[in-house]
């Protein structure tokens, strides 16, 4: 066996060792902040997220207009971290719709996500003390095919005319059609994604947009628990680590005059 193929320290896979070290560094930062929060030490607050603050306004508007709220947990599957992040917001939204007694329509592209979304909403209605208001027919599996799903959602938007539309998760080209249709029927729209190719549309077309890491911070923001906030602070320490690495890389590349130096070799 070549040295290049041999495990680092006899146990770690060589190609992913730098990634493991970086992940471990961020994980240590997150654990440190969680411990800090548990011990009662002060934790910085998460800055105001207008997109999350607007959820209540959007649902209140739907209640006043007597129209439903439409929620999409993205088109990604259950392995997608954006979909997982979406469930925390879906839980919050469904508790609000249950307490305001307004209809919530949740459309899904992935059958696994559909099953979980139904359970999340059912449980939220139960916790809000309104299990009878939960209508399983309003949690819908549309289609597994991207544009068949899109056509189905556009049809639903035209028929049901929701006053608020929340798109929270991973989206592709169909997001443009869905958001524009939402704008045409006059819905207030809140969009959140970490999918960089769709971000420009979310910014241009939605009334409120949560981009990149903002969408992952929502669950901590909504919970207002110091331990959850601590994980977001730990994540920010990870950003500083990345910033230092980038800076070091720029300096090294400038000094050496090429990208062939220890940092790039190690990271590769």
**Scanning residues 21 to 40, which ones bind another protein (CB under 8 A)?**
23, 26-27, 30-31, 34
Cα pseudo-dihedral 161, 162, 167, 171, rounded to 10:
-20
For another protein, how many residues bind (rule: CB under 8 A)?
86
Q: Which CB, 64 or 144, lies closer to another protein?
A: 144
Write the CB contacts of 145 (distance below 8 Å, at least 6 apart in sequence). none
> Which residue in 36, 61, 103, 140 binds another protein (CB under 8 A)?
140
CA dist list (Å): 123 to 68, 90, 120, 129, 141: 19, 11, 5, 10, 18
Q: Does 81 bind another protein (CB under 8 A)?
A: yes
* Beta-strand relationship, 188-193 and 164-168: parallel
> Which residue in 36, 61, 103, 122 binds another protein (CB under 8 A)?
122
**Scanning residues 191 to 220, which ones bind another protein (CB under 8 A)?**
194, 196, 199-201, 203-205, 211-217, 219-220
Q: Which CB, 64 or 203, lies closer to another protein?
A: 203
CA distance linking residue 148 with residue 255, whole number of Å? 54
**Scanning residues 248 to 267, which ones bind another protein (CB under 8 A)?**
none
CA dist list (Å): 237 to 22, 24, 58, 241, 243: 12, 12, 33, 6, 10
Residue 65 in tokens: 């207009």
Q: Does 11 bind another protein (CB under 8 A)?
A: yes
Q: Does 147 bind another protein (CB under 8 A)?
A: yes
Give the binding range for another protein (CB under 8 A) out of 44-52, 54-62, 96-104, 109-117. 109-117
CA distance linking residue 267 with residue 18, whole number of Å? 6
Q: Does 54 bind another protein (CB under 8 A)?
A: no
Helix, strand, or coil (residue 107): strand
Q: C-beta of 65: minimal distance to another protein in Å?
A: 20
Q: Does 170 bind another protein (CB under 8 A)?
A: no
Q: Which CB, 64 or 97, lies closer to another protein?
A: 97
> Which residue in 71, 114, 168, 221 binds another protein (CB under 8 A)?
114
Residue 87 in tokens: 């469930």
Q: Does 65 bind another protein (CB under 8 A)?
A: no
- From the list 62, 42, 55, 128, the residue with the least C-alpha distance to 86 is 55
Q: Does 13 bind another protein (CB under 8 A)?
A: yes
Q: Does 161 bind another protein (CB under 8 A)?
A: no
**Scanning residues 217 to 246, which ones bind another protein (CB under 8 A)?**
217, 219-220, 223, 225, 227-228, 231-232, 234-235, 238-239, 242
> Which residue in 65, 130, 151, 249 binds another protein (CB under 8 A)?
151
Q: Does 185 bind another protein (CB under 8 A)?
A: no
CA distance linking residue 97 with residue 171, whole number of Å? 24
CA angle 98, 59, 132 (to 5 degrees): 15
């Amino acid at each position: 066996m070549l040295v290049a193929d041999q495990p680092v320290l006899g146990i770690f896979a060589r190609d992913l060792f730098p990634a493991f070290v970086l992940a471990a560094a961020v994980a240590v930062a997150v654990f440190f902040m969680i411990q800090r929060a548990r011990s009662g030490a002060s934790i910085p607050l998460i800055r105001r997220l207008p997109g999350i603050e607007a959820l209540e306004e959007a649902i209140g508007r739907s209640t006043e207009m007597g129209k439903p709220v439409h929620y999409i947990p993205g088109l990604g599957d259950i392995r997608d971290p954006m979909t997982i992040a979406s469930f925390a917001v879906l839980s919050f939204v469904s508790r609000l719709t249950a307490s305001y007694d307004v209809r919530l329509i949740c459309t899904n592209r992935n059958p696994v996500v559909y099953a979980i979304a139904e359970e999340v909403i059912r449980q939220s209605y139960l916790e809000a003390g309104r299990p009878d208001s939960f209508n399983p027919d309003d949690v819908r599996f549309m289609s597994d095919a991207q544009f068949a799903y899109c056509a189905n959602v556009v049809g639903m938007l035209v028929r049901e005319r929701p006053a608020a539309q929340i798109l929270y998760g991973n989206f592709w080209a169909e997001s443009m059609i869905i958001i524009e249709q939402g704008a045409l029927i006059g819905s207030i729209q809140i969009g959140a994604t970490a999918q960089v190719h769709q971000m420009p549309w979310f910014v241009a077309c939605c009334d409120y947009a949560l981009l990149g890491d903002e969408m992952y911070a929502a669950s901590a923001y909504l919970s207002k628990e110091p331990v959850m906030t601590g994980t977001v602070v730990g994540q920010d320490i990870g950003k500083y680590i990345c910033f230092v690495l980038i800076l070091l890389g720029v300096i090294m590349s400038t000094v050496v005059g090429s990208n062939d130096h220890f940092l790039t070799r190690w990271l590769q």
